Structures are given as C-alpha cells and as structure tokens.
Amino acid sequence: MPFIAFARPDIGQAEINAVARVMRSGWVTTGPETRAFEQDFAAHLGGGVQAIAVNSATAGLHLALEAIGIKPGDQVIAPTLTFTATVEVARYLNADAALVDVDASTLCIDPACIEAAITPRTKAIVPMHYGGLACDMTAVFDIARRHGLYVVEDAAHALPATCQGTLIGQLPSAAAVFSFYANKTMTTGEGGMVVTRDTALAARMRTMRLHGINRDAFDRFQSRTPAWYYEVVAPGFKYNMTDIAAALGRVQLQRLPEFVQRRQQLAARYRAELQDLPLILPADAPPGETHAWHLYVIRLADQARVTRDELIQTLSDAGIGTSVHYVPLHRQPYWRDRYNLEPKQFPVAERAYQRMISIPLFTAMSDDEQGRVIAALRAALR
Ligand SMILES: *Cc1c(COP(=O)(O)O)cnc(C)c1O
C-alpha cells in the first residue's frame, strides 16, 4: 500500500500557471505580486490591518519583536510546547525567553502561568495558537494590559482561526505572524506574513525587512526620484518575499475557504470515528468559532495499552506518517541548558508530550487515505 505522508502540499494547475506567469514577466523578486498578495491578505482579514510579506514566519516574528523595541536583557513569555522559532527570535535580539506551561485541554499557553512568570524584565507575551485553536486571548490581553506588556501572536497555525468571533490577525495585539511553510494551512514554499494595525510598527518592519532601506527596490524603479537613490536608515535584514512565492500565495489564499472546509471535514470524521478509542482527541473550537485544524494531535488516554512510541511504529508499519508537535522546548538542549529547565516545571506539557501523536490531516488527503489511518488506529487501540 502506498505510504501516506504526514502532510503533502495542495498545489494545482492555477498555482503552477501563476508562478510561470511571474517567471516569464521579467520581475521575480519583491514587486507587484508581493504587493498584491499583501493587499489580498489584508483584505481577506479585514478590519484595516496592514500586511507585510516576508520570507518566513520566523523572519516575521524577528521583525515584530525588533519593531516593538525588544532589547538585550528583556524577556518574552512563550509556551514551552511550541516550535523553537517562537522564541529563538528573542535570542537574535539578545533578549531572553521565559517558557511556561500550557493548558491541559487546549495545549495553548496557560494564562495563570504567564502571570506567574512576569518579572520587571518582561516586555512581551508571545502566545501560539496550538494546532489552529485560538488561545484564551481575552485572558492574555487582560494580563498584558495590567502589566504594560506587548502581545505578538505566533499565528503560524491559525489561518484562519477565530477568538470571540474575531479572526486571528484582527485582534488588538502589536502583531500577528502567519507561516506559509510547506505543511501549513496554505503555502508559498517558504514564506510568512506579519499583520499589524500600528502604522509605525508596519513602517519599521517594512524598512527592516529589506536591509534597513527606506523604500524597496520596486518603489525605486517606479517612482520619479532617480532609480539609483536609496537611503539606509538601520542595519536591517534580508527578509523580503519573492514575487514567485507571492504569486503562489495569492492563488492559495483564494483557495483558503475550500481548504478550511476540507480540514474541518477531516477533523469531524476523525472525531466521529475515533471517539470510542482510549484517546484524548483535540479540543474543538467553542461553538461559533473557527478552528484552523493545522494539526490533529491525539493523546493516549490512561487506559491505552500501548505507548506513544509503539503506536508511532505500528502506524509506520501500516504505511502512515505521523509526527510529534512538539518535543517541548524545555527538553531541547539549548533551552534546557540556558535556563536550567526541568520537566517537572512543566507538568502539563510534559504529560501531553509523552502521550501525543500528530496524525495526517491535509487537504490533499483522500477519504480512502483517512479511512486507512482510522482503521490502523482502531486496530492498534482496540
Ligand atoms: C511553522 C512554525 C513557525 C515558523 O514558520 P516558518 O515560516 O517556517 O519560519 C513558527 N512557529 C510555529 C508554531 C510554527 O509551527
């Protein structure tokens, strides 16, 4: 039987045509497609946000922390159950990460743990919408307001997700950062988008995205000032998105409603057909809210008679790819050693980690493929 990969991008002829058109156009780096993608993305979210296209979400998170003024010695609070990119960007700025535990039901950052981690060095909270389910942002904003902290959302999983009826990207945080990495809910190969409502932050991020130059190359070739003239106002980065990636992203964004619907369908079938097994299934979004379903993370319940590693092996033998999201950062040598972290400081994330498996959920997955995943899980756990 053919192997079912953990994830596979959903790229059709329209995406291929869009990329081919840009490649024939004579302009392949940041230009009209990137600008149009930013406009499409901002319009898609609505609410008057500005969108800044970058070459990865990691770059976007770095730009956001730089723009809010994170300095050496500052501290940002983030969940331990995330990808290292969420907090490595603080280290780029010689700031520190304060890693905290997550909520047992949602696996998103636990607001009570945020509160307990605040020190005079704390400058920002970086919540991550785990798996595509929005964090308790009401609690996060309340803490941020009371302590004068910025909120920068790692929204890599959260396109599209809602919190209290508002799309992630439209909430009143300093910035939210989406990822278009190959396995995310839409892709540009590599890429990301920062959104903000703050004009000054947006301007700073646009400048720092391209070498600290105050206008990008396309502007120079369009405007009436001499094309050769530009000004460097800061030691910026090389984080701009190419028009090739943006063309791919524009088509994927148009297909997003179709993608969301398929992901919801796959998640609903998993819930219906796995609920009698000794598993903790991922939390649904509250009624009326949207879950982006980037990941489908199951956890073995106490009654299960197999271990996480045994189940991964059984699924692999059945030709099914899985993953684990994530090895918590407190177990990663760099973070563990830098902050002397121990598993007992993060009981919820630790317990979840020991029992979790991410099973395939991607729009290009067929009903038959999902049926095989369900059958293999039922056979292994019955
Ligand atoms: C994918 C991901 C990122 C990084 O995204 P890139 O676009 O690959 O830089 C950051 N945080 C989380 C939680 C992610 O899943």
Would you list the domain boundaries of the chain? 13-253, 256-381
- Protein residue whose Cα sits closest to atom 14 of ligand 1: 156
- pLDDT 10s digits, 162-189: 999 999 999 999 999 999 999 999 999 9
What token pair was written down for 254? Answer: 């148009």
- Stretch 86-105: mean pLDDT, rounded? 98
Q: What's the confidence (pLDDT) of residue 220?
A: 60
The more confident residue out of 1 and 357 is 357
Is ligand 1 within 6 A of the CB of residue 188? no
Is ligand 1 within 6 A of the CB of residue 41? no
The arrangement of secondary structure in 13-253, i.e. its CATH architecture, is 3-Layer(aba) Sandwich (3.40)
Is ligand 1 within 6 A of the CB of residue 83? yes
344 is catalytic: no
Q: What's the confidence (pLDDT) of residue 222?
A: 67
Return the number of other C-beta atoms located less than 10 Å from residue 276's C-beta. 10
- Stretch 129-149: mean pLDDT, rounded? 98
Taking the mean position of all CA atoms in its chain, how far away is CA 55?
A: 14
Residues near 174 by Cβ (< 8 Å), separated by ≥ 6?
Answer: 64, 67, 68, 124, 150, 151, 152, 196, 198, 201
DSSP alpha helix (H) spans, 1-82: 13-25, 32-45, 57-67
Is ligand 1 within 6 A of the CB of residue 181? yes
pTM confidence score: 0.97
Backbone angles phi, psi at 201, to 5 degrees: -65, -40
Instruction: Spot the catalytic one: 123, 184, 238, 344.
Output: 184
Confidence of residue 219 (pLDDT cuts 50, 70, 90): low
Q: What's the confidence (pLDDT) of residue 226?
A: 79
- Protein residue whose Cα sits closest to atom 13 of ligand 1: 83
Query: Quick one: which of 229, 226, 225, 192 has its CA closest to 209?
Result: 192
Distance from residue 301's CA to the centre of ligand 1 (Å): 28
- Ligand 1 atom index nearest CA of 85: 10
Q: What's the confidence (pLDDT) of residue 214?
A: 85
Query: Quick one: which of 253, 66, 246 has its CA closest to 174?
Result: 66
Please give the Cα distance from 266 to 274 (Å, whole number): 12
Distance from residue 319's CA to the centre of ligand 1 (Å): 26
- Protein residue whose Cα sits closest to atom 5 of ligand 1: 57
Distance from residue 186's CA to the centre of ligand 1 (Å): 12
Q: What's the confidence (pLDDT) of residue 227?
A: 78
- Ligand 1 atom index nearest CA of 154: 11
Q: What's the confidence (pLDDT) of residue 221?
A: 63
Pocket test for ligand 1, best of 58, 63, 89, 239 (most atoms within 8 A of CB): 58
Return the number of other C-beta atoms located less than 10 Å from residue 216's C-beta. 21
Is ligand 1 within 6 A of the CB of residue 290? no
Confidence of residue 126 (pLDDT cuts 50, 70, 90): very high
- Protein residue whose Cα sits closest to atom 8 of ligand 1: 181
User: Which fold would CATH assign to domain 256-381?
Assistant: Aspartate Aminotransferase, domain 1 (3.90.1150)
Mean pLDDT of the chain: 96
Query: Quick one: which of 29, 18, 10, 11 has its CA closest to 211?
Result: 29
Confidence of residue 1 (pLDDT cuts 50, 70, 90): confident
